[in-house]
Amino acid sequence: MRSIRPLHAPRARGHRALVAAASLVLAAAAATPARADRVELAADSVLAALVRDALAGRPELAGARANAEADAARVPQVRALPDPVVSFGVQNDGFGRLQVGRMETSYWSVSAAQTIPWAGKRGLRAKAQSLAAQQSEADVERVRLGVRADVERAYLDLLEVRDQLRILARLEALWAQADGLARSRYETGEGAQSDVLRAQLERSRLQQQRWALVAEERRRLAVLDRAAARPFDAPLATTLSLADIADPVLPDSATAAADAEQHTPELRKAALAVEQSGARVSLAHRDYFPDLTVVGGVMPRGGAFEPMWQAGVSLPLPLWARSKQSREVGESRLRAQSATHAAGATRRVVQQRLEERRAVLAALLESNRLYRSGVLIQSEATVTSALAQYQVGRVPFASVLEALRGFFSDELGYFASVAAAQRVDIAQRERSLDPVAGIAPGGLGGGAMTGSSGMGAASSSSGSTPSPAAAAGSSPSSAMPRMP
């Protein structure tokens, strides 16, 4: 008969090692959300340097500035008088020979003509062009806000994937302990070979998913490099975790509306377009009045003949005013109406985006609060209880792993919620008119880890609801692994 080796001592040692390791990992994971010294995202020195580099080096911003300067350079051009016309000529009697100085009606001529627009036309043209130049300045401000927001979003995305890598490292540590325990139990004859194979399989899957996350980190760093006008092969050290970032403040509706009215580039551009249309209507009315052309000249006749001179004024006759000037006035008025309606439509879009962002941000802030004050604490308590009961043999090992899976899934959901709130705040400071993605019912529950094959489809064996990572409408797909 085969002798039976003692099982209880090795199993107890393995259990205690796993419990101790899991407790350490759990403590490290739980300590992060409890930080009280969170900082504003914009206060991060690394991000501030990236924004400075972007504002100094992005070609899009330089191009917008050059375009604005070009439009401003047109203002004195349209205000200037038309170029004078100088004419040289000769009048000669007959074709046989030059008769200047011999015949009284033969002479050289030098004349100049200057067209003078009707009073007020030059000023109105200059005003319309000046308003166009100011619209280009509003375009520069839009590009500047977009450049800053691009850097902030890309930086936030990089922090998120690096946090996911840290979470994956914790998962790998736990699975290494689980692999050791499964081997120990199998060697003593108490465990099944399938447990060892499963542990090895899951460790291989985690390694596979690490490769995906490393690739995602490089991809997001390349996005940030372009946004910040950095060399693509330059490393970037970050000091913040998403858990270190303070939640944005929910803006008051009236304050946010006043700020948007004053600083949204599209609203400023729309208001300038309305004013420009008014100037063009006034200019169209002035076009009923003709521009005057003043002409003066001298005709030297040579010999004993005294020189002659001439002076005159010419002006066009508005004979076709009904089909020309009148139509121009009507066209200008219609374009002014169009500009007014477009400004009203833009204002409504701005108000809609403000309300959408406030609604989404309020939900995300509440989600973050619940994570910190309830979900993560309750999830940690569940793990602690499962560990304690496993030590005394009241629950199987699968229950411990299920509890740990739920805790790390909730931690991922917390990071996703923090990032989503920051993205909404970035869009608010950008005064963006882009659509705001909503949050599906149940989307504020515990986060789910995405599988390496889905790279963005949330799933969780423990029944956790999808994470709100896409609430801001601009988050890249998560590459976080699904817990087995």
Residue 484, CA atoms < 13 Å, CB-side half-sphere: 19
Q: Treating both helix axes as pointing N-terminal to C-terminal, what angle do 325-370 and 253-263 enclose, rounded to 10 degrees?
A: 140
Kindly report the backbone phi and psi dihedral angles of residue 434, in degrees, each rounded to the nearest multiple of 5, phi listed first. Answer: -70, 150
pLDDT band with cut points at 50, 70 and 90 for residue 391: low
Residue 482 predicted with pLDDT over 70: no
- Mean pLDDT highest for which of 174-183, 191-200, 403-412, 421-430? 421-430
The reported pLDDT for the residue numbered 21 is 54
pTM: 0.79
Residue 418 predicted with pLDDT over 90: yes
Q: Treating both helix axes as pointing N-terminal to C-terminal, what angle do 121-187 and 59-73 enclose, rounded to 10 degrees?
A: 170
Under 8 Å between Cβ of 158 and 214: no
The reported pLDDT for the residue numbered 474 is 42
Kindly report the backbone phi and psi dihedral angles of residue 112, in degrees, each rounded to the nearest multiple of 5, phi listed first. Answer: -135, 145
Mean pLDDT is lowest, of 111-120, 324-333, 350-359, 397-406, for 397-406
Residue 449 predicted with pLDDT over 70: no
Residue 168 predicted with pLDDT over 60: yes
pLDDT band with cut points at 50, 70 and 90 for residue 468: very low
Q: Does 381 or 133 have the greater pLDDT score?
A: 133
Tell how far CA 124 is from the center of its chain. 37
Question: Residue 373, Cβ neighbours under 10 Å: how many?
Answer: 11
| Pairing label, strands 449-450, 107-116 | unpaired
Under 8 Å between Cβ of 404 and 390: no
Mean pLDDT is lowest, of 64-73, 233-242, 275-284, 339-348, for 233-242
**Domain spanning 9-79+120-287+321-472: which CATH class is it, in words?**
mainly alpha
Q: Which residues contact 323 (CB under 8 A, 6 or more apart)?
A: none
Residue 135 predicted with pLDDT over 70: yes
The reported pLDDT for the residue numbered 127 is 95
Mean pLDDT is lowest, of 46-55, 132-141, 213-222, 438-447, for 438-447
The reported pLDDT for the residue numbered 186 is 74
**What would the mean pLDDT of 237-242 be, rounded to a whole number?**
90
Kindly report, residue by residue over 23-41, the tens digit of the pLDDT.
555 555 554 444 557 888 8
The secondary structure element, H or E, covering residue 114 is: strand 107-116
Percent of the chain with pLDDT over 70: 80
Q: Does 329 or 393 have the greater pLDDT score?
A: 329
Length of the chain: 484
Residue 69 predicted with pLDDT over 50: yes
Q: Which segments within 251-291 are labelled E, that is strand? A: none
pLDDT band with cut points at 50, 70 and 90 for residue 392: low
Q: Which residues contact 483 (CB under 8 A, 6 or more apart)?
A: 171, 405, 408, 409, 449, 460, 461, 462
pLDDT band with cut points at 50, 70 and 90 for residue 239: confident
Give the integer Cα–Cα distance in Å for 200 and 245: 36
Mean pLDDT of the residues in the chain: 82
Residue 157 predicted with pLDDT over 70: yes
The reported pLDDT for the residue numbered 314 is 93
Buried b (16+ CB within 10 A) or exposed e, 91-122: ebeeeeeebbeebeebbbbebebebebeeebb
